[in-house]
Amino acid sequence: MKNTSPKQFRAELKDYLDLAAKEPIRIQRRSGENFILLKEDAYQSLQEELVSLQRRLLGMSQVVAGETKEYKMGERNRLNRIKSKA
């Protein structure tokens, strides 16, 4: 990951945007605050991965809490169970 300052980033904006298409750029202020510049596709991918991990965590927490029902071989599939309740 390439590091830069806000001043250098402004001066070479086009070059940093081109580079951000390939790898994230860390922009660090004097105060120590850091910002990351990355391509939108990479950001969307990270967001999708986060949602996926959250769903897995929710599912695992339900298993640990005993909030799941055991599936037995030969049971009708879930869709059929829902339809039969309606």
CATH of 2-64, one of 3.30.70.1350, 3.40.50.11540, 3.40.1620.10, 2.60.40.420: 3.40.1620.10
Which pLDDT score is estimated for 48? Answer: 95
Angle at 49 between CA 13 and CA 19, to 5 degrees: 20
Query: Is 86 a residue whose pLDDT tops 60?
Result: no
Which pLDDT score is estimated for 23? Answer: 95
Query: Is 42 a residue whose pLDDT tops 80?
Result: yes
Domain ranges (residues) in the chain: 2-64
Q: What's the average model confidence in pLDDT over 60-82?
A: 72
Which pLDDT score is estimated for 67? Answer: 79
Q: Which residues contact 56 (CB under 8 A, 6 or more apart)?
A: none
- What are the pLDDT digits (tens) for 24-37? 999 999 999 999 99
pTM over 0.75: no
Cβ(24)–Cβ(45) below 8 Å: no
Q: What's the average model confidence in pLDDT over 78-83?
A: 61
